[in-house]
Structure 1
Amino acid sequence: MSQESKPAARRPALRRTLFVLLILFILFLALFGGMIVGYVVLGKQSLSGVFHWSTWRHVFDLVFAP
């Protein structure tokens, strides 16, 4: 009875890395979708305003104002 030697544990590491990248991608899409729904649909603003730094600076100032 000889035991078959397993190849290096490279495959599970690759699979875990791809899984983590997939989760990060899904989270990024959820963030992007939430920004669009909140700013464009609920706020009735233009889509291009979502990508301006001044917009998010203003939101930050509103949330964390003393």
Structure 2
Amino acid sequence: MSKKDKPPKRKKAKWKIVILWMIPLFLLLSLIGGMTVGYVVLGKEEMSEVFQLETWQHVIDLIFAP
């Protein structure tokens, strides 16, 4: 049996798993970074308020106010 008769080896799926975990992680980090930069740098507010639910509820209420 020669090398021509053997089927080609398949590449491992390790990178697929890594990429599937990296994409949501990068999206989450981008969201947190964007919220922080937008609220602290552009809005000139305190960093401690960025991660409070009441802050973002107020922003949503302002956006969707009738």
Query: If the TM-score is normalised by the length of the shorter chain, which range does it land in?
Result: 0.7 to 0.9
Runs of 4 or more, structure 1, over 3 Å off, are 4-7
How many residues in Structure 1 have an aligned counterpart in Structure 2? Answer: 63
Which SS does the other structure have where 1:51 is aligned?
Answer: coil
Q: CA deviation at 1:3?
A: 1.4
Larger radius of gyration: 2
Q: TM-score, with normalisation over the residues of structure 2? A: 0.79
1:1-66 alignment, distance < 5 Å: 1=2, 2-3=5-6, 6=9, 11-12=12-13, 14-66=14-66
| Alignment gaps of 5+ in structure 1 | none
| Alignment gaps of 5+ in structure 2 | none
Structure 1 residues 1-36: Cα deviation after superposition (integer angstroms, max 9, x where no partner): 3415747x7x22x32121021111111111111011
More helix as a share of residues: 1
Identical amino acids, percent of aligned pairs: 44
